[in-house]
Amino acid sequence: MNNDACNMLLADPNSGQRPVQEDMICAGDLMKGKSVCRGDSGGPLVCFLNNTWFLMGLSSFSAPCNDPVGPSVFSKVSYFANWIREKQSSSPSPDPSIAPPEEPPPALGNSVSLGTAHKHRTCVILVSSQTFLLWWLCLRIL
């Protein structure tokens, strides 16, 4: 969804301010009711292209997440690429040998799995605290 259309949906009619700026990406699946919600801030917007996942944005805000679902707004990673490179060059590379050991995810008691959904999507919104590693890895690629 382009930013002009997003601004039409999100703008405050009383102030006339446009909440979506050039450093932001507007996304969402309004037909299927897909959007970010409270607690999702900082989660990644990723796109799969040529067998590679790309970090496109980081969740910032959305319209209220009740029906009808509105668009979600993400910080545009490409807009901040020079700033990211500058910060990376002034920071030492992390030493992988001092990383804590990987632990299995916690199991949920009394839950029944309905299986895994395998649907091809161009872009996927990941909303989990476990996505920090993906975010860090994508930034290292820039």
Give me the CATH number covering residue 128.
Answer: 2.40.10.10
Number of Cβ atoms within 10 Å of the Cβ of 137 = 11
Number of Cβ atoms within 10 Å of the Cβ of 142 = 14
| Rounded-to-10 torsion of CA 2, 25, 69, 48 | 100
Cis before 92? omega within 30: no
Taking only the tens place, the pLDDT of each residue in 61-83 is: 887 777 667 889 999 999 999 99
For residues 65 and 30, the answer to whether their CB atoms sit within 8 Å is no
Q: Note whether residue 67 is domain-resident.
A: yes
Instruction: pLDDT band for 132, please (50, 70, 90 cuts).
Output: low
Q: Which domain holds residue 79?
A: 3-90+122-141
